[in-house]
């Protein structure tokens, strides 16, 4: 049951934090890559990647809980939700690796490459779409009466 609550809370953190981080990255894309903003951004990318990994790996326990709760368990929706969740986790993991690359450059007293900003923006925009669809599938599992 605890994993279920962890899963539900953390996926909502990712769903809110990814668009927020995308907006801030676009807004500050021209700032120096070793500025205070980018240090916070690199840290947020790493933290969000960790949160997404935890959310993904608490999913199977949540699926088991839902299976015991629902009388008509939508196996196909659960599998689709897990697949798209995995895709989102991988995308966010790559963005987190870029955060590590940024911090590694800063730790070596170098300025991170400007292309990191463009790649991060592209990854986050794609991941917003993936998370929206994954959340939609999760909502259909929990509330099939709201499906369309």
Nearest residue to 81 (alpha-carbon basis) of 128, 126, 133, 127: 133
The model's pLDDT over 44-93, given as tens digits with 9 standing for 90+, comes to 999 999 999 999 999 989 888 888 888 888 889 999 999 999 999 999 99
**pLDDT score of 148 more than 60:** no
The C-alpha atoms of residue 101 and residue 103 are separated, in whole angstroms, by: 5
- Residue 17 near residue 48 (C-beta atoms within 8 A): yes
pTM of the model: 0.90
Count of structural domains, the chain: 1
Q: What SS3 class is residue 147? A: coil
**Which tokens sit at 105?**
């450059």
Q: At 144, is the pLDDT very low, low, confident or very high (cuts 50, 70, 90)?
A: low
Q: Quote the domain boundaries for residue 82.
A: 2-146
Structural element, H or E, at residue 49: helix 36-57
- Residue 21 near residue 78 (C-beta atoms within 8 A): no
The model's pLDDT over 113-125, given as tens digits with 9 standing for 90+, comes to 999 999 999 999 9
At residue 19, the pLDDT reads 97
Nearest residue to 52 (alpha-carbon basis) of 136, 141, 137, 124: 124
**pLDDT score of 32 more than 70:** yes
Buried b (16+ CB within 10 A) or exposed e, 1-38: eebbebbeebbeebbebbeebbeebeeeeeeebbeeeb
**140 or 146: whose pLDDT is higher?**
140
**Which tokens sit at 70?**
């629902």
């Amino acid at each position: 049951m605890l994993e279920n609550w962890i899963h539900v809370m953390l996926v909502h953190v990712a769903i809110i934090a990814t668009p927020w981080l995308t907006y801030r990255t676009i807004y500050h894309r021209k700032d120096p890559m070793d500025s205070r903003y980018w240090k916070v951004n690199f840290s947020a990318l790493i933290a969000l990647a960790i949160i997404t990994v935890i959310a993904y790996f608490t999913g199977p326990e949540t699926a088991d809980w839902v299976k015991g709760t629902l009388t008509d368990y939508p196996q196909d929706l659960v599998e689709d939700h897990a697949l798209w969740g995995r895709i989102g986790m991988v995308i966010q993991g790559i963005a987190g690796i870029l955060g590590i690359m940024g911090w590694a450059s800063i730790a070596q007293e170098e300025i991170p490459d400007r292309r990191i900003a463009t790649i991060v923006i592209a990854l986050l925009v794609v991941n917003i779409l993936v998370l929206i669809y994954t959340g939609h599938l999760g909502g259909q599992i929990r509330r099939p009466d709201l499906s369309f």
